[in-house]
Structure 1
Amino acid sequence: MSLRFSLMGPVRAWRDDEEIELGPRQQRAVLAALLLNNGIRLSNEQLIGMVWDDPTPSAVMALRTYMYKIRKTLPELNLKSKDGGYTLRAEIVDDCRGEPLEGLQGTYFEAQRLRLGQHRLKAREDWLERELNVLELQKHVAANPLRERPRALLMYALFQEGRQAEALDHFHQARALLNEELGIEPGPELRKIHAQILKGDLNLPRRPEQLPPDLADFTGRAAEIAQALQTLPGTVGITGMHGSGKTALAVRIGHLVRHRFKDGQIFVRGKDVANDLLRAVGVENPTGDKAALWREKARGKRFLVIVDDVPDAASISDLASPGSAMIVTSVRRLNELPGVTWLKIAGLTGAEAHEFFRKVLDPARIAAEPQQAEEILNRMSYLPHAVRVVGGKLSARPNWTVAMVLAQMERDTKRGGAASSDCRAVLAPMIKVEGQLNDEARHLLLCFAQQDAEVIDVSAAAEMSSLPVGAIEYLLESLADVHLIEPLVLGRYRLPRFVRTYFGWRTPALTS
């Protein structure tokens, strides 16, 4: 299930598409204080100070009561008292419905209301800078006549439409208003754009908008998203096996924070990352030290950079720039990169996988065969890519049942290399990673799959492969690095069912 919150307007929460009743005002105030400090531990004393301006001794008991009711209403938050305090991690959306924290009173919430209002205003102006819509800019300037940034954007937009006189008139209006209301002259941004219009050489720098579309059916990953939002603009790394949804998660995070990065978003995938970054900001055919040139171009700017499927640490090691943020995805965790907060993902949770399956396939068909649906999701280790492919296949075959797809999977497993195109599409991430394995690693996984072994230990692996224990340990660790096996304790690993399914499918072809 997906749980999300909004602080814009009344404090609100939704579980999937159903709104949740959050209780009386003071209870919502406690929840709001936790949400405003998303990911930060708050002591009981801090919470009481935020919610009550002049707390009485009864506030302690009231807080405990409200926390009990919040836990009961929102069990997914796992809000447990630890060391006399609470930490909440949640997905917060800005649905722009009204005055922030509507209905909540007190000094703390008044200050936060002002902060969120400024945040919303800046987000709106970031959008106006991207769109440069004259009508929308005129409305915004009329509503906020003393803000210089949107007026400068309006002057630029008018100039671009050939309305030079109107653009200059806006400068004179702003100058008169600032003098009358505040007793000051226009700031450097307005003066600069005024001078450029007079000279006729007004050009804004190229602003890349390369962020891929967000997935409408994106599901889960709330904890990872919360951690990423807390880390940015520091560097975030996302690691996991092929098909786990690393790119989709990076893009979702990118859309949630794009308003923070006024100079644009850059999405690259390839070996020459520095070259692609430079091209995104208008530098064609760069020569020399490309990383140094990129840092020079990015100096003083706020870019959001997503580097997808990073092949190695050297590709991005010198590209970080103060003020800009980088999100990287890689099958391997690149531990040699300093200052990276790594998020490791695998399959969705069972509940999230079912929710996602219902988004890609008619829920009524799933409800008609709940056991078969659970079996098929379990076989795929709840990996989003595989779930999407199977759901799409069933959607394209309205007369098929989930049980029929299970039967086809069984048949394809026995056929091995002769599997259907749909089965191969489900297993495409595994086909890709198998091609990157050496013969010893591939043989070891085939042996484990043949025995349908879920838990692997070093001794059993050495016995199967006839390799020395030292070599086996190195081999198993290399498989764990690409998430084909999961470390449990020293010397023991778990083989995910999806990996067993794939190498079980490969085994007949190997032994026939």
Structure 2
Amino acid sequence: MSLRFSLMGPVRGWRDDEEIDLGPRQQRAVLAALLLNNGVRLSNDQLIGMVWDDPRPSAVMALRTYMYKLRKAIPELDLKSKDGGYTLHAELFDDCRGEPFEGLSSTYFEAQRVRIANERLQCREALLERELDVLDLQKHVAAFPLRERPRALLMQALYRDGRQAEALEQFHEVRSLLNEQLGLEPGPDLRATHARILKGDVLLSRRLEQLPPALPDFTGRTAEVAQALRALPQTVGITGMHGSGKTALALHVAHLAKRHYPDGHLFVGGDDVAGALLRAVGVENPAGDKAALWREKARGRRFLVVVDDVRDPAQIADLHTPGSALILTSVRRWNELPGVHWLKIAGLTEAEANQLFRQVLDPARADAEADVTDVVLKRISYLPNPIRVLGGKLAGRPHWTVAMLLAQMERETTLGDAIPSDCRAVLAPMIKAAAQLTDQERHLLQCFSRRDADVIDVCEAAEMSGGDPGAIEFLLEALADVHLIEPLVLGRYRLPHFVRMYFGWRVPALTS
């Protein structure tokens, strides 16, 4: 369960995805004052002075009442009372929407609004400096025409795009505005930018942009995205079975975080990760200790690197550099890699799976057969990649119902080698996983899949497969490492529905 609060717009709080009723305006003001001083002890007098400009004697009792109601509304809130004061520890996020503390009007909150507005403006301009996007800079300059730093950045961005005349026009425009409205001349930074453009010696550096686009229908994974963003620039590893959406999550996080890494955003894979990174930064035919050479090239720079489908931890063991960030995807969790913040993902939640299916397919068609849709999604363990394939198949067959799709899925369990290409696309994660198993692992999964129970222990697995319990435990652990079964307590494992469906078919051509 996660608890988070926002001070942008009205003071709001959420428990997971459900918004919490934080009570009347003054009660929200008390909470806002505590959140603004996260982790700092505030005395009763300090809190009262923040919330009320002209407090009455009854303010002390009102404060106690609000504290009681906040504890009751949010019992898990870390709100501590000691020596006539209060301390709160909570997670805040800034969604950059609206004016801070909307509806709160004390002198304290007015001063905080000014402070936060200035900080947000500075952060926005720092981001604009890293991105140097002409359109974004033009919008910002239009909103704040007298600010010189973003005007200088716009001049640089226009010059970089080969628009020297427009860049110089920006200087003359802001100079006129400053003269007319403030009686001032442009400052030294703006004049220096103007002089460099006239001389043609503006240093241009094109940032490496190799990230594939994020999925427009990316759905769910709210907690995992938040954990990954908090962990960066520590290396983040995303692990899960084939088809669980590891790459989609990695790219989604990378696009959210890339503004913090101005020197380049790289996407690599394969067996020579260090070599691919070196080639991306202009090192042709790299040889020798490639990891050491990469660290030398990346020293003092801030790269964001996504390494997709890591199959050998030695590939990336020595690639992390201070200031840069690595996001890894791998079916296996490589515990031997130090300093990695691992995230394990599986299928989406039932609600998220339905949401994704409705994005791919016409929502009205999915809603008309909600019960059948639930059955279809459960059969594929709510995995996002098969959901997209099935939703796309139905979208291309406007006269089909979801029930027809389910009937076809059931018939295909008896077709053996003659499985249609669209079904193979749905099964692609399992086909890929099966190809990487040993004969013993595949046989054990087939035995497990034909049982009525979803959960099995080592002794039951040994009995049904005819193997030695000690050896069977190693096989079960190997299958758990690639997420084809889910470890519960020691010696007990659960089989996901999608894995059961596939390996219970006994389709030799697909599992060879």
Amino acid at match of 1:443: H
Aligned to 1:130: 131
Aligned to 2:461: 461
- Max Rg structure: 2
Aligned to 1:56: 60
Task: Kindly state the Cα deviation for residue 199 of structure 1 after the two structures are TM-superposed.
Answer: 6.5
| Native 8 Å contact 1:412 1:505 kept in 2 | no
Identity %: 56
Amino acid at match of 1:166: L
Deviations for 1:302-353, whole angstroms, at most 9, x for unmatched residues? Answer: 2222111112211111111111222111111111111111111101111211
Aligned to 1:250: 250
| Native 8 Å contact 1:243 1:386 kept in 2 | yes
Residues 51 and 226 of structure 1, relative CA distance in 2, 3 Å threshold: farther
| Counterpart mapping for 1:57-456 below 5 A | 57-66=61-70, 80-81=76-77, 93-94=95-96, 97-104=97-104, 107=108, 110-111=111-112, 114-115=115-116, 117-119=118-120, 121-127=122-128, 129-133=130-134, 136=137, 140=141, 143=144, 148=149, 151=152, 154-155=155-156, 157-158=158-159, 160-163=162-165, 166=168, 200-456=200-456
Residues 155 and 104 of structure 1, relative CA distance in 2, 3 Å threshold: same
Amino acid at match of 1:506: R
CA distance in 2, matches of 1:31, 1:223: 24
| Native 8 Å contact 1:268 1:307 kept in 2 | yes
| Counterpart mapping for 1:2-17 below 5 A | 8-10=8-10
CA distance in 1, matches of 2:401, 2:371: 12
Task: Kindly state the Cα deviation for residue 13 of structure 1 after the two structures are TM-superposed.
Answer: 8.5
Amino acid at match of 1:419: I
| Native 8 Å contact 1:239 1:329 kept in 2 | yes
Aligned to 2:492: 492
Amino acid at match of 2:356: F
Q: Which segment is superposed worse, 413-422 or 21-30? A: 21-30
Aligned to 1:74: none
Aligned to 1:75: none
Deviations for 1:399-433, whole angstroms, at most 9, x for unmatched residues? Answer: 11111111111111122332222221111011001
CA distance in 2, matches of 1:4, 1:243: 30
Amino acid at match of 2:494: R
Amino acid at match of 1:494: R
| Native 8 Å contact 1:134 1:154 kept in 2 | no
Amino acid at match of 2:69: T
| Native 8 Å contact 1:240 1:331 kept in 2 | yes
CA distance in 2, matches of 1:223, 1:30: 28
Task: Kindly state the Cα deviation for residue 212 of structure 1 after the two structures are TM-superposed.
Answer: 2.4
**Please, which runs of 5 or more residues in structure 2 have no aligned partner?**
52-58, 81-86
Task: Kindly state the Cα deviation for residue 437 of structure 1 after the two structures are TM-superposed.
Answer: 0.5
| Helix, strand or coil at the partner of 2:285 | coil
Task: Kindly state the Cα deviation for residue 375 of structure 1 after the two structures are TM-superposed.
Answer: 1.0
Task: Kindly state the Cα deviation for residue 222 of structure 1 after the two structures are TM-superposed.
Answer: 1.2
| Helix, strand or coil at the partner of 2:414 | helix
| Helix, strand or coil at the partner of 1:414 | coil
CA distance in 2, matches of 1:223, 1:50: 32
| Counterpart mapping for 1:12-27 below 5 A | 24-26=24-26
Deviations for 1:251-284, whole angstroms, at most 9, x for unmatched residues? Answer: 2212222222222322222222222223333333
Task: Kindly state the Cα deviation for residue 492 of structure 1 after the two structures are TM-superposed.
Answer: 0.3
| Helix, strand or coil at the partner of 1:237 | strand
| Native 8 Å contact 1:233 1:323 kept in 2 | yes
Task: Kindly state the Cα deviation for residue 168 of structure 1 after the two structures are TM-superposed.
Answer: 12
CA distance in 2, matches of 1:390, 1:336: 37
| Native 8 Å contact 1:306 1:326 kept in 2 | yes
CA distance in 2, matches of 1:139, 1:86: 36
Amino acid at match of 1:80: E
Q: TM-score, normalised by structure 2?
A: 0.80
| Native 8 Å contact 1:301 1:323 kept in 2 | yes
| Helix, strand or coil at the partner of 2:504 | helix
| Native 8 Å contact 2:484 2:496 kept in 1 | yes
Measured on the aligned residues, the alpha-carbon RMSD in Å equals 4.4
CA distance in 2, matches of 1:165, 1:234: 39
| Native 8 Å contact 1:155 1:167 kept in 2 | no
Residues 279 and 164 of structure 1, relative CA distance in 2, 3 Å threshold: farther
Task: Kindly state the Cα deviation for residue 294 of structure 1 after the two structures are TM-superposed.
Answer: 2.0
CA distance in 2, matches of 1:27, 1:418: 66
CA distance in 2, matches of 1:259, 1:228: 15
Amino acid at match of 2:485: I
Q: Which segment is superposed worse, 355-364 or 331-340? A: 355-364
Deviations for 1:361-395, whole angstroms, at most 9, x for unmatched residues? Answer: 22222222222111111111111111111111111
**Please, which runs of 5 or more residues in structure 1 have no aligned partner?**
72-78
| Helix, strand or coil at the partner of 1:446 | helix
CA distance in 2, matches of 1:166, 1:112: 35
Task: Kindly state the Cα deviation for residue 453 of structure 1 after the two structures are TM-superposed.
Answer: 3.8
CA distance in 2, matches of 1:392, 1:371: 19
Q: Which segment is superposed worse, 261-270 or 154-163? A: 154-163
CA distance in 1, matches of 2:211, 2:510: 42
Aligned to 2:479: 479
CA distance in 2, matches of 1:82, 1:6: 16
